[in-house]
Each structure stands twice: as C-alpha cells, then as structure tokens.
Amino acid sequence: MVAEHARAVGAPTRGTTNPNRLRRVDRWLTGTQPVLDALRGFPDPLVVDLGYGRSPVTTVELATRLRGVHAGVRVLGLELDAERVAAAARMASPPWLEFRRGGFELAGTRPALLRAFNVLRQYPEPDAARAWSTMLAGLAPGGLLIEGTCDEIGRRCSWVLLSAHGPQSFTVSCKPSELRRPSDVAERLPKSLIHRNVEGERVHAFLSELDSCWAHAATHRPFGPRARWVESVRLLAERGWPVHGDRRRWRLGELTVDWACVTPDW
Ligand SMILES: C[S@@+](CC[C@H](N)C(=O)[O-])C[C@H]1O[C@@H](n2cnc3c(N)ncnc32)[C@H](O)[C@@H]1O
C-alpha cells in the first residue's frame, strides 16, 4: 500500500488505549457530511490512524465503521513504537487494513482522512502546532484531519476537524449523565486549547456560556440528563453561537461549533 519511510517523526509513549474508547469520534466521522464528502471523493480512500497505541483495537474499529459508509475505505495504522507495529502486523488482517511504523510524516502516504487521537497531548504546545502543519501537508487534496483527546473509556471527548485551510470546527462529545456541568470536559480538551481555558480566551467564554445554558436548562432535569443537554445546546444556538447539526446529533451528547468560537489568541 505504501513505501517504507526512512524517519518516523515524533516520540512514542505508554500507549494507553481501550476497546470502544473512540466510538464517539467514529460515530461523528460516519455521520458528518464534510467527512463523508472527503471519503467519497475517492473510490478507495486511504484513512490513516496515527498513534494507535499498545493495541490496534481502535484502528480495527475505525476501519469496520468507516467501511459501513464507504466500502472502498482502506485503513493504515501508524505507530512510532516498533514492537506495537510488529504485534499488529502479525494479526490476521483483511487486505484493507495494514499497520506500519510512522509518525507525523505519515510514512509518505497521502490519506483522505487522518485521525490522531490522544497523541498530541504529550507534546509541548509549539510542537503540537508544528505537528498540525506537518500532518496537514501530508493529506490528499480535499483531505481532513481529526485531532483530539478523550478520557480512558471515551465518555468525555473533544476534537478539532482541520482541512488544508486550517481548523474548521470544534466538537465536544460526552455522556451527559456523567456531567456535573458541561465544562467538566475541559480536562480533555485538545492540546491546542487545554492551556487556553482561562479568562479572556475564547474557549473559556464558550464553556462558560455552555455552563450557563446548562444551568438554565435545569427545568429539563425531570426528563433526564440527555434532554437537559439537548436543551442546553438549543439555548446556545438561540444565543447566537454557530452550532452545527440538529437535535438528532445533540441527543448523542454532541456539540459542534465553528472553530472561530474557540480560536486561541495565538
Ligand atoms: C495514548 S496512545 C493513544 C492510542 C489511541 N489512539 C487511543 O486514543 O486510544 C498514544 C500513542 O501515540 C503514539 N505516538 C506518539 N507520537 C506519535 C507520532 N508522532 N506518530 C505516531 N505515533 C505516535 C505513542 O507511541 C502512543 O502509542
């Protein structure tokens, strides 16, 4: 599928992962039009899962889910850790699933979709910003990068969708029944935002407004946390925030807004 690449760029880590940890991300990918358009622009789009960790389980899940919306999808898992690559490569895999050693240079591939989840948080902020540029430069024309973070079991997640033009949207996805308030997700913000959740930064204003909507939506508490979340998102939209999607998505505990809502003061 790809040529071997001389130097894999980045620094390996412990590799914590879990089955189904990235289900919320995968569900969003398979239900979001710009992502589907990026995949359907190719008969056999290449999708790279960068930094799959000590087990390739989330890469296998990604491949299965994406092939449900585009039967031609090929998935390549890249890891810096050579032993993890050898272990994954020994698994019996279908021809549309492969594992190789590689880093931000993407092993010389040009994916239509690139997922890097729970990878950048270990890097200092300036290195993470450079990694975005390196990864974006490696995408196929019209390609997209999804980069984000979540907790160990995938109940609190957030991510950024980027194209060659830069960040496009920011998404929070969580299990509302486990929240005291929506800003609980702050501990799982992507590297580009986690240090910016302070007074005066947009992401802080955004999460504060969402908390305020959650407080107002307390009237929906008798209908359950999910209904309260949906009402919070509806209120946010009513207050003029560029909220994407509709109740169908919000009921999943999702909220996507334009990246402009959270852009850091770089
Ligand atoms: C915390 S694990 C995440 C595993 C999986 N993506 C998940 O979310 O469950 C991060 C993995 O990324 C790998 N990694 C770190 N930097 C990388 C890079 N530049 N390229 C490829 N893999 C990288 C680490 O070796 C580690 O195995």
**Atom 20 of ligand 1: nearest residue by CA position:** 103
For residue 15 and ligand 1, the question of a CB distance below 6 A is answered with yes
- Ligand 1: centre distance to CA 107 (Å): 15
Strand order in the sheet with 166-174: 97-101, 74-79, 46-50, 113-117, 144-150, 156-163, 166-174, 254-258
Question: Residue 6: pLDDT band by 50, 70, 90 thresholds?
Answer: low
- Ligand 1: centre distance to CA 8 (Å): 12
Secondary structure, 3-state, the chain: CCCCCCCCCCCCCCCCCCCCCCHHHHHHHCCCHHHHHHHHCCCCCEEEEECCCCCCHHHHHHHHHHHCCCCCCEEEEEECCHHHHHHHHHCCCCCCEEEEECCCCHHHCCCCEEEEECCHHHCCHHHHHHHHHHHHHCCCCCCEEEEEEECCCCCEEEEEEEECCEEEEEEEEECHHHCCCHHHHHHHCCHHHHCCCCCCCHHHHHHHHHHHHHHHHHHHHHHCHHHHHHHHHHHHHHCCCCECCCHHHHCCCEEEEEHHHCCCCC
Pick the CATH number of 1-164 from 3.40.50.150, 3.20.20.70, 3.40.50.970, 3.90.226.10: 3.40.50.150
Per-domain residue ranges of the chain: 1-164, 175-258
Instruction: Tell me which amino acid residue 266 is.
Output: W
Q: Which atom of ligand 1 is nearest to the CA of 103?
A: 20
Query: Distance from first CA to last CA of the chain, Å, rounded?
Result: 38
Report how far residue 108's alpha carbon sits from residue 123's, in angstroms, rounded to the nearest whole number: 22
How confident is the model over 137-178, as pLDDT tens digits?
999 999 999 999 999 999 999 999 999 999 999 999 999 999
Q: How far is CA 132 from the centre of its chain?
A: 13
Please check the confidence at residue 1 and state whether its pLDDT lies above 60.
Answer: no
Mean pLDDT, residues 55-68: 98
- Ligand 1: centre distance to CA 117 (Å): 7
How confident is the model over 206-238, as pLDDT tens digits?
999 999 999 999 999 999 999 999 999 999 999
Give percent of the chain above pLDDT 70.
97
Supply the pLDDT for residue 25.
Answer: 98
Supply the pLDDT for residue 14.
Answer: 86
Give percent of the chain above pLDDT 90.
93
Mean pLDDT, residues 47-64: 97
How confident is the model over 77-134, as pLDDT tens digits?
999 999 999 999 999 789 999 999 999 999 999 999 999 999 999 999 999 999 999 9
Mean pLDDT, residues 191-203: 96
Q: Which atom of ligand 1 is nearest to the CA of 150?
A: 8
How confident is the model over 130-141, as pLDDT tens digits?
999 999 999 999
Determine which of 2-11, 50-59, 123-132 has the lowest per-residue pLDDT on average. 2-11
**Atom 19 of ligand 1: nearest residue by CA position:** 10
Contacts of 237 (CB under 8 A, 6+ apart): 243
User: What pairing do the DSSP bridges indicate for beta strands 113-117 and 97-101?
Assistant: unpaired
Report how far residue 241's alpha carbon sits from residue 119's, in angstroms, rounded to the nearest whole number: 29
